[in-house]
Amino acid sequence: MALSAIEVNDLKHAPAVEGVLPAVLGRWSPRSFADRAVSGADLRRVFEAARWTASSRNEQPWRFVVGLRDSAASSLTYRKIFSTLASSNQVWAGKAPVLMLGVTSTKFAHNGAENRVALYDLGAAASYLTLEASALGLATHQMAGFDQAAARKALGIPEDFAIGAVIALGYQGEPSALTDAHHFEQETTPRTRKALGEFVFSAWGEAAELG
């Protein structure tokens, strides 16, 4: 019998770890999105979370270009973002009510010097955004599979801004809505992660003793 969205969400939920925020454990990246709009209030909340992300010299270099599928004001932006996606992502991403592109200024505003951690700061802001979305019961899926040059041209992104990822945002849908067998398998397979000792070191390649 096919799994329901609720059953898949339970399957994807990380094992309980004492003290870890529920939004962290519950965040995952579905491909099936429900045909349900995200409220303006919730959109403001996820971007407020991004707004309060730490950044080098408090530069806040990130920008998010946002398209709402069903909004007269920004549906064109939605279509432009969608048009740049790889075909394997277009198969499912058009069901998400919100598509956004994260970009970041590569120069510091106060002196024009190179900001070598600009993409790091954008990634941090995107993480805050996705965790706030998780806390609100929203789903996000971040994508590297898109044409960066086409996105820059379509959205008028200046050359001194680096491009990050496209993020689909909405509510989790039923896995049975996915028509691609590989996507369905990805949707219904439990998540796995490396053990801490594989990436937390006391010396290079040596697992740290964390107590």
Q: Which domain holds residue 168?
A: 5-207
Per-chain mean pLDDT for the chain:
97
**H and E: helices and strands count for the chain:** 8, 6
pLDDT, one tens digit per residue, over 74-102 is 999 999 999 999 999 999 999 999 999 99
Q: Is 201 helix (H, G, I), strand (E, B) or coil?
A: strand
What is the band of 138 on the pLDDT scale with cuts at 50, 70, 90?
Answer: very high
Rounded to an integer, the average pLDDT of 95-124 is: 98
Q: pTM, whole model, 2 decimals?
A: 0.96
Distance (Å, whole) CA 165 – CA 153: 15
Rounded to an integer, the average pLDDT of 170-179 is: 97
CATH label of the domain that carries residue 203: 3.40.109.10
Q: Determine the longest span between alpha carbons in the chain, in angstroms.
A: 61
Domain count across the chain: 1
Looking at the predicted structure, is the pLDDT value of residue 211 above 90?
no
Residue 45: Cβ-neighbour burial (10 angstroms; 0-12, 13-18, 19+): middle
Distance (Å, whole) CA 208 – CA 200: 6
Give pLDDT, residue 2.
83
